[in-house]
Structures are given as C-alpha cells and as structure tokens.
Amino acid sequence: MKIAILNSNLAPGGKSAHLADVIAGEFQSLGHETDIDHAGDLSLPACDGYLCYKDEKTINLTDRLSEADAIVLVSPVYNYDLNAAAKNLIELTGNSWKGKAIGLVCQAAGEKSYLAPLGFINSLAVDYRCLVSPRFVYVARSNFTEEGVLADDSPVRKRIHFLAQEVPVLAEAAKKIESFEKP
C-alpha cells in the first residue's frame, strides 16, 4: 500500500520532520511504501481559489496524492489549531484526498491543545468523505528528549505504531465504500 506523509511544518528539520521520519519507518516496517513531503520544501502558492490550481507544483502534488492509498498529515499546532500550511495543503489538493484514509499526527508545545485537530477532521470527513482515524497521535514537547527526538520506549511510538497498523485497514475500507457509490 502507498502511504503519502505530509509534514505541514514550513521550517526545515525539527520535531515535525522527525515525526514524519518515524511514521514512515513504521509504515515501511509493515511493508508499505511511503512518500514524505515537507511543505517547506514544496514552495506551494497560497490558495487564491483560481491561479493556484494552475501552478505546476500544486498539480504535481495533487497527482502524487491521488496515487496514494492513504495520507498521514503531520502538523504543528499553533494557537489551538493546525498550522495554516496544513489548511493550505487541503485547499490546494483537496480533491486528491476524496475518499481516502487519513491519519493525523499533531505536535504542540503543551498538553492543552489536544482537541485542536477536531475541526480539521470534521472538514476532511464531511467535505471530502475521508475515513479519518479518530485515534490521531498528539505529541507534546515533553514527549521529546533534549535532542528533539522520541525515545525508543516512548508511549508516543506505541501510538504511532498503532496508527501505522490502523490506516491501511481504513484504506481498504475506504476502497470498499467507494465501490458502493459507483453505479
């Protein structure tokens, strides 16, 4: 199965990039193909509702996401919500998310933004009919070592492993549901 991993953090490296790499490793250890994109490396335009869809980078990313069986979004949480780049990714490539299984991994400074992804989940479920895992992974600053990585025995790694097992199951279910909708 092909899993697209999107890191919506615009800054290079850091905790979100580490999380994307850990997630990719989990999927790969289960025999899945992964493709990681970091929003900061993509130089995508801001969604203007028109010209952005003619941009070659937008078209390229949309095509690649369309080919994926599932998408995992890694996003920092700012001001109790996913970052603006995550929303821009959906606005630019939303049609390629239709009917797909989605996993979310959110990284925040503290524990109090745990419910931040709910609005995003609602949008994906309602607007794009995605099967979004309700067991998103929330990672606080306290879950990282001083070096900015997850410890091997971290409970977060267990949750990421579970997500890597669950998303392919949801992707198979999404394919079955899609077949119901075809005449």
In this prediction, residues 83-92 reach a mean pLDDT of: 96
Q: Which tens digits make up the pLDDT trace of 44-63?
A: 999 999 999 999 999 999 99
> How far is 182 from 179, CA to CA, in rounded Å?
5
> Measuring CA to CA, which residue among 78, 60, 148, 98 is closest to residue 86?
78
Domains along the chain? 2-181 (3.40.50.360)
Lowest mean pLDDT among 43-47, 102-106, 113-117: 113-117
Q: Which tens digits make up the pLDDT trace of 132-163?
A: 998 899 999 999 999 999 988 899 999 999 99
Could you tell me which residue, 153 or 25, shows the higher pLDDT?
25
